[in-house]
Structures are given as structure tokens and as C-alpha cells.
Structure 1
């Protein structure tokens, strides 16, 4: 094994410890922090319970219990989709966003900035490794909307080529469960 594998293993362990510590500090479990983090990044096609289950690769029962707890604690809110009867959208409340504000992801971001490395190049390399591992293991890839094969942009604004719906700019920088790998020769945006 290469030294990089060992470094990534240690980095994963440190991140896991940070997530556990953040969760404990708020009376939560690590899975609760992961759900909050996902919802902070999810676009309108992904802010649903089924997408949480797919993204975190956990059971629907675990998702249901987790969402109920987060809603009781006032960290998320649920809202029915006006166009699709049974569909529920999930959003972070101000308290939910505050839980994440100075958490592990913020500290990791600060460490990356302090490293002085080319952040975009590093992110591209990690995305490539992640996408390969997801493919080898049959995992669904999620990715940033504007890096999707379905993303369309023109004079009339942004659209999803899969659904045909218009996309607000803020939605195009979030992750989507409908994401598809871009055409060959372009950068992957998997998460």
C-alpha cells in the first residue's frame, strides 16, 4: 500500500473523531451530524428522506428515527412538496445551521486553507478517487448540480436536462441525487 492510503486512513479516523465530538457536544449521535451536513448541501431533488438514506447508505428506519429526533430538537423542519403529494422536503433551521457552523467541516476547511495546497486540484483528485471507489462498490454517486451531465445553462438561465425544470443559481452549487457523471474528458463532481 502507498503512503497516501495510510494518510487517508488517518485523516478518515480524525474526521470521524471530530464528528463524534461535535455530535456529543450537542447531545447528538454522529449520524445526526451527517444528516445535518448532508441537508446543508442538498438541492431540492435531494432534500428528502430517501435521498438521506441513499447518500448515507443507511436504512429508511434509521433515517425516519433520525429525522424525527432532529425535528423534535428544532434542528430541521419538514415541508410537503406542493407538486408531489407525499413528497417531504427537509431543511435546516437556524439552530441546525448553527450546530454545523463551527463544527468539524469548518475546522477541516481551515486546515486545508492553512496547508497552502491548490485546493481545487486536491478536490479534483479526491473526487476522482471517491468516484472510482463508489463505482467499484456499486454505490450511488451524488454530485454538484452544475457538474452534472444533465445540467443546462444558457441565456434563459439554468435548467435540469433530466426534469426540464428551471434551477435557481443557489441550487446549482448544491449536491443532487439525480447527478450523473459528466461526459468523458470532463472533471467529475461526485460526493
Structure 2
């Protein structure tokens, strides 16, 4: 095992431990905290149950049970989509946001910022590793809307080139299940039959 792989393995193990500890502090399982963390950063194309399953690599049944429990605890709510019949959007409640306040991603952000490293360069390198692993394993890539090949941005105006829909600035910094790296030729529309 190379030193880089060793460091990545140790980071992954530590992050899993932090997720378990944060979840236990709120009487949750790690998957519950992972779903909340995902929904906090998902855009309107990605805040649906099928996207949660895809992002976390878990079954629809597990997602269904997890979402039902989070809803019973008042941590998320569901709302219908006026334009797409059966589609259900998931949003964090104030209580759900409170669970995430001070959790491991925020602590890690603070630690990295205080460390003085070139965070943009580190992000680019880690994105490259992540993308390679996703392609190797046949996983769907998720990424930030404004870094997508489909993103069309002009001062004061943003649009998704895949759906043709206007995007508010807040949505452009969220992650999207329809994300595609520049130079790829992905033609799957957001309103595809993959949604359930």
C-alpha cells in the first residue's frame, strides 16, 4: 500500500467514526446523518429519494425506511412537485439543520481553513481521485451545479443547459445528480424515467 493510499484509508476510517459519533449524539444511525448531510447540499434536481439512494449507494428500500424515520422525527419534510406528478422533494426542517450544526463537515472545514493549505489545489486533486474511482466502479458522479458541463452562467442569469430551466444563484452552489464533467457527452435529462 502506497503512503497516499494509506492516508486516504485512514481518513476514510476516521470520517466513518466521526459520522457514527455525530449520529449517536442525536440518537440516529450513520445513514440518517448521511441523508441529512446530502439533502443539505442537494439542488432541486437531486432532493428526491432516488437521488439519495444513488448518492449514498444504498437500496431504495433502505432510503424509504430512512426517510420515513427522519420525517417522523421532524428532521425532514416532503413536498410534491407541481410540474412532475409523482415526484417528491425532500427538505431539511429547522430541526434537521440543527442536527447538522457543528457536525464533522463543519469541524473539518474549520480545520482545513486554519491549516493554511492550498484548498483549491487539494480539492482539484481529490476530485480527480474521486472521479477516477467512480468511473472504475461504474458509479454515478455528483458535482456542484456551477462546475457542470451543462451550466450556462452569465452575470445575473444562470441556466441548466440540460433542462433549459433558469437557476437561482443558491441552486448553483448545490450538488446535482445530473452533473457532468466538462468534455463528457451525457444526454440523460433530469426528468427522466429514473425518477421514482
Please, what TM-score do these two structures have when normalized by structure 2?
0.91
2:132 matched residue in structure 1? 132
1:183 matched residue in structure 2? 183
CA distance in 1, matches of 2:25, 2:156: 46
CA distance in 1, matches of 2:98, 2:155: 36
Question: Does 1:40 find its partner at 2:40?
Answer: yes
2:71 matched residue in structure 1? 71
CA distance in 2, matches of 1:178, 1:115: 33
Pick which of 109-118 and 12-21 moved more.
109-118
2:83 matched residue in structure 1? 83
CA distance in 1, matches of 2:114, 2:12: 19
CA distance in 1, matches of 2:106, 2:89: 25
Q: How does 1:83-122 map to 2 (within 5 A)?
A: 83-122=83-122
- The Cα of 1:154 is off from its aligned counterpart by 2.5
CA distance in 2, matches of 1:113, 1:9: 22
- The Cα of 1:156 is off from its aligned counterpart by 6.3
1:188 matched residue in structure 2? none
- The Cα of 1:107 is off from its aligned counterpart by 1.3
Please, what TM-score do these two structures have when normalized by structure 1?
0.94
1:22 matched residue in structure 2? 22
Runs of 4+ that moved beyond 6 A: none
CA deviation profile, 1:105-148 (whole Å, cap 9, x unmatched): 11111221222111111111101100000001100000000000
CA distance in 2, matches of 1:173, 1:110: 19
CA distance in 2, matches of 1:11, 1:155: 38
SS in 1 for 2:86: coil
- The Cα of 1:96 is off from its aligned counterpart by 0.4
CA deviation profile, 1:30-84 (whole Å, cap 9, x unmatched): 0001000000000000000000001001000000000000001011010000111
Could you tell me which runs of 5 or more consecutive residues in structure 2 were left unpaired when the two chains were aligned.
Answer: 185-196
Could you tell me which runs of 5 or more consecutive residues in structure 1 were left unpaired when the two chains were aligned.
Answer: 185-191
1:53 matched residue in structure 2? 53
